[in-house]
Amino acid sequence: MKAPTALTSAAILAGSASAHSIFQEMWVNGVDAGYLTGIRAPDYDGPITDVTSNDVICNGGINPYHTPISTAIVNVPAGATVTTQWHHTLNQVANDPADPIDASHKGPVMTYLAKVENATSLEVTGLKWFKIQEDGLQVSDQTWGVDRLIANKGQVNVKIPSCIPAGQYLMRHELIALHAASSPGGAQLYMECAQLQITGGGSTNPSPTVAFPGAYSATDPGILINIYQTLSNYTIPGPAVFTC
């Protein structure tokens, strides 16, 4: 990790460990799709810190994908709940205190979908992403999406909208660790994309849509932020969540 100059001692402690995370398995309505099945996961668990890089789309650039990349496209009925699983590393070690992610890595958890022609195509630029889930700061007790992810043993429940058109989609599942985010480029973005075949559904065109890169700026209030204070609000990066 980088060692920015003006950090609190908590952030410096947090920055000393390479305690990152990878989204690596999912369940559809409680049924395990299989380890790494339909998920493009890198071997290395490190973050993306340049929000203008193509690596923020689906990772796989500076952190190359584990090979062979899954060619599975996971069937998901519209309206289903997808449960995602994060772990500290791809090859988990027993009794890892930083599994599923180090507790210092506080920040939001988000999920996006983009309709694609071919969910196994590795060409991911130019897609139109809409947000379907977000979990930022609960102001009352200053707990974050990542705190809830840790409490839930690395799992996040994401409801797939019931009204979107059937077809192939990429699901971009992301968390942003803000422990070093008080200096520009300090926020750590972790994301993987899953290959979905959504069935059923409806005919609603989801909106708003955003581009990656483009949806985030390095100076967004949710990206450039000192979390070592009591926050009265937190602006989750990206667009509003689409609902049917």
Ligand X SMILES: *[C@@H]1O[C@H](CO)[C@@H](O)[C@H](O)[C@H]1NC(C)=O
Question: How far is it, in rounded angstroms, from Cα 144 to Cα 137?
Answer: 5
CB of 156 to ligand X, least distance (A): 25
**Applying CB under 6 A, does 29 fall inside the site for ligand X?**
no
CB of 193 to ligand X, least distance (A): 14
Cα torsion 13, 217, 207, 195 to 10°: value is: -60
Whether residue 185 contacts residue 49, with contact meaning beta carbons closer than 8 Å, is answered with yes
Whether residue 189 contacts residue 151, with contact meaning beta carbons closer than 8 Å, is answered with no
Q: Which of these ranges, 18-26, 81-89, 153-161, 162-170, lies near Cu ion under the rule CB under 5 A?
A: 18-26
CB of 205 to Cu ion, least distance (A): 37
201-240 footprint of ligand X as x/- string (CB under 6 A):
------------------------------xxx-------
**Looking at 121, 138, 199, 205, which residue binds ligand X (CB under 6 A)?**
121
**Applying CB under 5 A, does 88 fall inside the site for Cu ion?**
no
**Looking at 20, 106, 115, 131, which residue binds Cu ion (CB under 5 A)?**
20
CB of 230 to ligand X, least distance (A): 8
CB of 180 to ligand X, least distance (A): 18
20 binds, among ligand X, Cu ion, none (CB under 5 to 8 A by kind): Cu ion
Question: How far is it, in rounded angstroms, from Cα 170 to Cα 229?
Answer: 36
233 binds, among Cu ion, ligand X, none (CB under 5 to 8 A by kind): ligand X
Question: How far is it, in rounded angstroms, from Cα 50 to Cα 86?
Answer: 22
**Exposed / middle / buried, residue 101 (Cβ in 10 Å: 0-12, 13-18, 19+):** buried
Question: How far is it, in rounded angstroms, from Cα 229 to Cα 181?
Answer: 13
Return the number of the residue (16 or 118) whose C-beta is nearest ligand X.
Answer: 118
**Looking at 52, 118, 199, 217, which residue binds ligand X (CB under 6 A)?**
118
**Applying CB under 6 A, does 69 fall inside the site for ligand X?**
no
Whether residue 196 contacts residue 74, with contact meaning beta carbons closer than 8 Å, is answered with yes
Question: How far is it, in rounded angstroms, from Cα 165 to Cα 176?
Answer: 29
- List the structure tokens of 242: 């689409």
**Applying CB under 6 A, does 120 fall inside the site for ligand X?**
yes
Phi and psi at residue 150, to the nearest 5°:
-65, -45
**Applying CB under 5 A, does 179 fall inside the site for Cu ion?**
no
CB of 47 to Cu ion, least distance (A): 6
* Amino acid sitting at position 107: G
Phi and psi at residue 164, to the nearest 5°:
-80, 155
For binding to ligand X (CB under 6 A), which residues are involved? 118, 120-122, 231-233
For binding to Cu ion (CB under 5 A), which residues are involved? 19-20
